[in-house]
Chain A
Amino acid sequence: MTLAIDIRHRLGSFQLDAKFETGGGLVALFGRSGSGKTSIVNIIAGLIRPDHGRVVNDGVVLVDRARGIFVPRHRRRIGYVFQEGRLFPHLTVRQNLLYGRFFAPDSERREGFDPVVDLLGIGGLLDRRPGRLSGGEKQRVAIGRALLAGPRLLLMDEPLASLDEARKAEIFPYIERLRDQNRVPIVYVSHALAEVARLASTVVLVAEGKVAAVGATTDVMHRLDLFALTGRAEAGSIIEAIVERHDAAFGLTELRSRAGVWRLPRLDLAIGTRLRLTVRARDVMLAKSAPGDLSALNIVPGVVTDMAGAGGSMGAIVEIKLDCNGDVLIARLTRYSVERLGLAPGQQIHALIKSVALDRRGLSGPNRGPAGADAEANET
């Protein structure tokens, strides 16, 4: 499946000029609020008719203004999970879930009702009305409703933005399961770096109505020149790791990545679980020689590959990119420290990261779903 977009559209004084092409999996449309992400998905869904351009999903031309093609929204077979859920208040959860299915032709009913209800853990809510659901429950029902319509593409517009951290943590595993079971390609809109780092296989970085970069999540996130757009405060590197060992005596878990061993506070994950570790640039220290007596448990050797000063060559902050045996690490230092250490590309260096900086929020993995995730995956 490919999604190809090449559109120009004017909304008041805002000019949208977006062109990109993506493969399957979970594609994140990432950018600040007001950068035009939601307008792009609204154009894909057919809620906005673009002034110019084309939208093609999986070989089906949805919009081609030059040829006068505009498929109306109800014939696009594109599921949409809105930020505010938009469940029908006069229907029960069951009726909401079956709404789109009613309109789907038999050949398009790819999803069974029971598997979707199980996947999202909403079996106990079926006879309730949306007014009585929590925010997290509403979003799970909204995801189910969109899935059961048998979409060829699922759009999710900041589905977690209106939820608190606990509710977010409740929904993440369901979206990860959806992604990993590869049921339907997903376009996921977000302005939160943590969500994108955790969920996306591909990132489309949107800034001021234009596409600033497209690529694999790690490639885009590790580009120092894009830090101003991706969000400097939370920016960092993403490392694919595997759970190697639990240290019961000290309550630690050891992960292994190409860079080496990572120790962090105990995780309730089976040995062998793959996950993504996000290491924020501001949590990384650098040392020229391997330090001895030090509290930091994670000391990773690497080579400086790139340096970029934030705010030009005279700025106070410099970001340094390291190659640690194939893993990328990014450190944020003051320019003063950089000059004191005499850092330069090609230099051997040691990166130091406190274990407690690697908290659960920065982790994601396919098997972090709720109990029963694996059993369910085996059934399908």
Chain B
Amino acid sequence: MDWMTLSPEEWTAVRLSLKVATVATLVGLPFGIGVALALARGRFWGQSLLNGLVLLPLILPPVVTGYILLIVFGQRGPVGRWLADYFGIVFSFRWTGAALACGIMGFPLMVRAIRLAIESVDARLEEAAGTLGANRTWVFATVTLPLIVPGILTGMILCFAKAMGEFGATITFVSNIPGETQTLPSAIYTFTQVPGGDQGALRLTLVSVAISMLALLASEVMARLAHRRLEIE
């Protein structure tokens, strides 16, 4: 069983990946709901442009996305320098950068799931809430939001899973620094590049499979619970 034990370095990579994926999902969530609402319900100039921009990371090679992040959010990038000067937020070669890259890559999946959920909400229920005295904010909080919870959970899990597996954009943007930006996929990649790294790669692969399976199971359970609660007529 010795070969099954993770080394401290490997544990660090697992913990870092979980942290990066969790932060990417949670920080991305409010933006995801906002953008999904704008795309599903809004009617404004540039809507198709926004839609395309959100979906872009899904289609671009991850390396290209990573490089764009490097140019924009890097130390000398316009947004990166501004954030560093005014808020002290630094992305380049930090785990925060890995979270940003993972979040950007998972964002389209999250938005898509939430948007579909919003579009399937019966607008007539929202009308009914309006006649009962709820203004738009209350209608959203008490009717729309509870009804799209299953979609939000699906979106979060998709985003989390994508973030756990993200490799190309992360390694391009923040490199592969053990303990700082070396996530699970980067660590597996590193193992495959050194002689005798097979066992380490296998161990981390199993961990990766286990986490993915758990995430899938969790989403199944939550979807079933949500469905039972709603008892769709």
Please report A residues at the B interface, Cβ cutoff 8 Å.
Answer: 45-47, 72-80, 82, 84, 86, 88-90, 99-100, 102-104, 129-132, 145-146, 149
Once A74-B133, A74-B135 are accepted as A-B contacts, the answer to whether A89 and B147 lie under 8 Å apart by CB is yes
| B residues less than 8 Å from A74 (CB atoms) | 130-135, 138
Return B68 CB to nearest CB of chain A, in Å. 41
Question: Is the CB–CB distance between B129 and A47 below 8 Å?
Answer: no
Taking the complex as formed, is B142 at the interface, i.e. its CB lies under 8 A from any CB of chain A? Answer: yes
The 4 closest A-B pairs by CB, nearest first: A131-B231, A103-B133, A100-B132, A86-B128
Once A and B bind, how many residue pairs between them come within 8 Å at the CB atom?
75
Q: Please give the residue numbers on chain B whose beta carbons come within 8 Å of chain A beta carbons, in ascending order.
A: 122, 124-125, 127-135, 138, 142-143, 146-147, 229-233
Whole-angstrom CA separation of A80 from B132 in the bound complex: 8
Chain B neighbourhood of A84, CB < 8 A: 124
Contact A149 B125 (CB under 8 A): no
**CB <8 Å contact, B233 and A130:** yes
What's the least CB distance linking B164 to chain A, in Å? Answer: 31
Cβ-neighbour of A80 out of B128, B135, B232, B233 (below 8 A): B128
Contact assessment for B133 and A100 in the assembled complex, using a CB-CB cutoff below 8 Å: yes
What would be 5 A-B contacts, judged by CB atoms less than 8 Å apart? A47-B131, A74-B132, A79-B132, A88-B129, A103-B132
Docked Cα-Cα span, A129 to B130, in Å, equals 21
Contact call B229/A103, Cβ cutoff below 8 A: no
Asked if A104 and B133 sit within 8 Å, CB to CB, the answer is yes
In Å, the complex CA distance between A73 and B125 comes to 14
CB neighbours (8 Å) of A132 from chain B are 231
Contact (Cβ within 8 A) B232 A89 = yes
Chain A contacts for B233, CB-based, 8 A: 89, 130-131
How far is B182's CA from A170's CA once the two chains are assembled, in angstroms? 68
Is the pair A80, B231 in contact by a Cβ cutoff of 8 Å? no
* Assembled-state Cα–Cα distance A72/B135 (Å): 9
Residues of A within 8 A of B232 (CB): 89, 131
Nearest to B132 among chain A residues (CB) is A100
Q: Pick the residue among A88, A90, A149 that contacts B133 (CB under 8 A).
A: A149
Closest to A155 in B: B131
- Is A89 in contact with B131, judged by CB distance below 8 angstroms? no
Name the B residues within 8 Å of A131 (CB-CB). Answer: 230-233
Chain B residues with CB below 8 A from A47, complex form: 127, 130-131
Task: Give Cα A78–Cα B143 distance, bound, in whole angstroms.
Answer: 19
Contact A103 B125 (CB under 8 A): no
CB–CB B146/A90 < 8 A: yes
A76-B131, A89-B147, A131-B230 are known; give 6 further A-B pairs, CB within 8 A.
A89-B125, A89-B230, A99-B134, A102-B133, A129-B229, A131-B232
Q: Whose C-beta in chain A lies nearest to the C-beta of B231?
A: A131
CB distance from A146 to the nearest CB of B (A): 7
Q: How far is the CA of A346 from the CA of B181 in the complex (A)?
A: 103
Query: How far, in whole Å, are A145 and B143 apart by their CA atoms in the complex?
Result: 15
Given A129-B231, A131-B231, A132-B231, also A86-B124 (CB < 8 A)? yes
